[in-house]
Amino acid sequence: MSDYDKEIEYKSSKPNLVRDIDDSTMAIIIKSKKWGLVEIIIDREDYPRVKPFRWYLNGFARMPYAAADLPRANSSDRYLILMHRLITSFEWRLVDHANRNTFDNRKTNLRESSSRLPKTLILGMPSSRLLL
């Protein structure tokens, strides 16, 4: 069983807890076996967009991202959606976290990336390990 499958099993059907940070910012709380208790920071205005989904951490490469599963029409399969892509309305092909913190999904921290790989994955990785 892969780590992804184990994390999916660990999810509960209960909605994610939330915490107010200030007037414009809040946190979605995610409990993960691998990463522990994590707060994903979002702008308050984006909460209605992310609220309908059950969020969990999906570890791409070395960095965990907030993810949710969406059912496909007429199928038992599911789509994987990343919170930062939902917040940016899928306007950009690649999204980068400016401060390299994948738990910070405020719009001021999200930017379009021109690289094939998000900078959060490239920085700190030896050039011999990059597959471009």
For the stretch 14-33, pLDDT in tens is: 789 999 999 999 999 999 88
* pLDDT, average across residues 48-58: 92
Q: Which CB contacts under 8 angstroms, 24+ apart, belong to 1-7?
A: 3/34, 3/59, 4/58, 4/59, 6/33, 7/32, 7/33, 7/34, 7/56, 7/57, 7/58, 7/59
* pLDDT, average across residues 75-91: 84
Q: Give Rg (Cα) of the chain.
A: 15
pLDDT of residue 37: 92
pLDDT of residue 60: 63
Q: Where does the pLDDT of residue 36 fall: very low under 50, low under 70, confident under 90, or very high at 90 and above?
A: confident
* pLDDT, average across residues 69-88: 83
pLDDT of residue 91: 74
More confident position, 7 or 100: 100
pLDDT of residue 40: 96
Does residue 123 surpass a pLDDT of 60?
A: no
| pTM above threshold 0.75 | no
* pLDDT, average across residues 50-70: 86
